Amino acid sequence: MRVLTGFSGWLAALFLLGFVGSAFVWAVENAILSLAVGAVMILGAYTILRHAANEFVEHLALALSLAGQVLVFWGLFRINTPGWSASTWLWIALLELALTWWMPSFVHRVFSTFLAAGALSTAFMQMHVPYVIDSVLLLAMAWIWLHLFRYPRQLARLRAVGYGLALALIPLKGSVLFQAGGTGWRAQPFQVESWLQPWMAELLTVAVMIYVVWQLLQRYQYDSGDRFSLLVLAATLLIALFSLEAPGLATALVILLLGFAVGNRVLLGLGIAALLFFISSYYYLLDITLLAKAGHLLLIGLALLMLRWLAARYLFNKGTTDVA
Amino acid sequence: MGSNQRFIIKLVEQGYILPQKLEQALTVSGVYPDSHAWHKFIDHLFLWLGGLALAFAVLFFVAYNWSELGRLFRFALVEVLVIAAIVGYWKLGTERMAAKVALLGGTIGLGVLLALYGQTYQTGADPWQLFFNWSLLILPWVLVGRFAPLWLLWLALVNLSVMLYFTAFPGAFGLLLPRDTGMYWTLFLLNTLALVLWEWAATRWSFMDRRWAIRLVALASGYTITWLALISIVEGALTDRSGLVAGMIWLLWLASLGGVYRYRIRDLFMLTGGSLSVIVVVTTFLARHMLEGDPVGAFLFLAVVVMAGGSGSLIWLKRLHREWQS
């Protein structure tokens, strides 16, 4: 149902934009005016949402806000020279963060978080600091889902941000994957030289994975020094290190793990979708030969099956009786 | 776990659960999984990931086309793996998850074997034949396997061979089907038939009663008929016979979907999909006829129509949801 809300809001926004574009051509041609008209539309949407009494009005506000945002982006691109500079993207990210915080609508918040994450990632790439920001966003997502219930007053906000980040991370991590092969839409307009490499981001992702598992162990009141915890952490490290060779795999695993840990089926489904997406795009990664990929997958497969056997034999029949 | 989570979220938001009792509430209500659930999850995760990684490793290895590696060795490798997977399925006990993963691995392996055969002997066969033969050969396993994902894989292969067949012969079945939309009609008929049969099978065999799989099949059916309706609108073909037929069948499909999933099998996902289809088709129809005249008024009108459609559907769906719950 939320997909329906999002889709019809987005479609209505397109028509609304067509209306604004054709009725106020003079405004759209002027950067300051389109900024102003866009801002008024967003403010209008905010006011409507605060007092929204029914579904129709909520849809109207969503469409109005989306159309307003496009006008503001358009103004920002025209004011900044060159338009695709880091500062434009930072402004967009800032605007979307503010909307995430203030707009009282779940769908709007998910959407704004998604855009904010994309804009932030692009801005950092423009500043010659690529890849790593995506892993920082992954850490933020993990933290939110693990501590979701700790802030009851912010629950609605945090859930929306958690979903928005998970949705954004799948294409973001995917684009890095394609970029490593020299293709991908984000690589084309601005090939950046940087000392940062994709594997550094993957290493950070490994750290996030270990953080998630460590936090979960704490939730079930395991000491970080006992045998069970050490074994679980060692196994996690092993899986994470193996997955380094197949980019994106660790990200998908983190989403999957969080989905299960917080009992959220949507997140679990997103994790599975991400996993399939990353594995199939791995086939097209151009840097390494199919033979090397086959070797990596063989290692990962054998390691996982061996870990499963070891876990069933040594871990679960002793360690978990005192959990829960 | 989904409904429990929503319930707990409501309680938390309304302040009924004290912060210090929250962890306990989450564990007791089953939102946070217990040790047994974790054990099962990790077991299945490792099994699926490990099994699929191995199957894909073989696929990539064969696709690499290593010239120093003899033809015989490559065939032997894939054949041994397929046989090992099937023996594994048999030995592990057919109802265990490990056995099902082995069967799925064997199924992928068979496809790799067929591809290798085509690649080695340059049979000159069309790509559609590979997928069609693959789906034919695995049919016995699919029947025996009693496993919904395997049926889904089978259906995906048949879909793929239909698509590739029409890519090779665009005007196929020219007497029966319209030339340019023949592929979509075939896919629509195939997936709708599959949906009807699957719903019937779900009432007979519990292993087929997987809503997520049925919804995927329904998605394929709905996507193709919506697309056909859109084509007939955009091409202005509503006036000719084939366009009119597309419109009528779309309406019929919509009515059946609504009737079945509103009254017989309660499924909000299907009704939401139907609503989306209505919004898209109606908007396209109006846009096609209105945007040619005064675009300014038309844009505003269309925006209002979409918002009304979206909110109207949402109100209806929410009311249904409440009605079903009470």
User: DSSP string spanning A156-185?
Assistant: HHHHHHHHHHHHHHHHHHHHHHHHHTT-ST
Q: For residue B44, give the DSSP letter.
A: H
Angle, nearest 10°, between helix axes A198-219 and A227-243?
160
| Closest A-chain CA to B1 | A263
CA neighbor of A6 nearest in space, from A92, A65, A94? A65
The mean of the pLDDT values for chain A is 81
Helix spans in chain B (H): 2-13, 22-28, 35-63, 71-92, 97-121, 127-145, 148-168, 182-204, 211-234, 241-259, 268-290, 295-325
| pLDDT per residue as tens digits for the range A270-299 | 998 888 888 777 777 666 777 888 888 888
pLDDT at residue A287, as a whole number? 64
The C-alpha atoms of residue A148 and residue B30 are separated, in whole angstroms, by 16
Chain A, window 15-34: residues with a beta carbon less than 8 angstroms from a chain B beta carbon: 15-16, 18-19, 22-23
User: DSSP string spanning A254-277?
Assistant: HHHHHHHHTT-HHHHHHHHHHHHH
Query: B323 vs chain A: nearest CA distance in angstroms?
Result: 16
Residue A57 to residues A9, A107, B101, B308, B313, Cα–Cα distance (Å): 11, 14, 49, 9, 14
Q: Model's pTM, two decimal places?
A: 0.81
Residue A91 to residues A46, A175, B247, Cα–Cα distance (Å): 19, 22, 46
Most A CBs within 10 A among B34, B46, B272, B315, hence the mutation to make, goes to B46
Residues of A in Cβ contact (< 8 Å) with B283? 11
Torsion of CA B108, B111, B113, B119, to 10 degrees: -140
Q: Which residue from A263, A297, A320 is facing B1, i.e. has the nearest CB?
A: A263
Residue B290 pLDDT exceeds 50: yes
Most A CBs within 10 A among B12, B20, B92, B307, hence the mutation to make, goes to B307
| pLDDT per residue as tens digits for the range B120-170 | 777 766 778 888 888 888 888 888 888 888 899 999 999 999 988 888 877
Residues of B in Cβ contact (< 8 Å) with A60? 307
| pLDDT per residue as tens digits for the range B236-284 | 655 677 778 888 899 999 999 999 998 888 888 899 999 999 999 998 8
CA neighbor of B276 nearest in space, from A9, A17, A60? A9
pLDDT at residue A255, as a whole number? 94
Torsion of CA B277, B283, B285, B290, to 10 degrees: 180
The mean of the pLDDT values for chain B is 83
Q: Judge: A1–B272 Cβ closer than 8 Å, yes or no.
A: yes
The C-alpha atoms of residue A95 and residue A97 are separated, in whole angstroms, by 5
ipTM of the complex: 0.80
Could you tell me how far CA A107 lies from the centroid of its own chain? 15
Q: Judge: A302–B50 Cβ closer than 8 Å, yes or no.
A: yes
Q: What is the mean pLDDT of residues B226-232?
A: 89
Band (pLDDT 50/70/90 cuts) for residue B310 is: confident
Residue B196 pLDDT exceeds 90: yes
Residue B203 to residues B200, B220, B268, B299, Cα–Cα distance (Å): 6, 21, 18, 47
How many C-beta neighbours within 10 Å does residue B25 have? 17
CB distance A64 to A44 below 8 Å: yes
Query: Structure tokens of A301?
Result: 């497969």
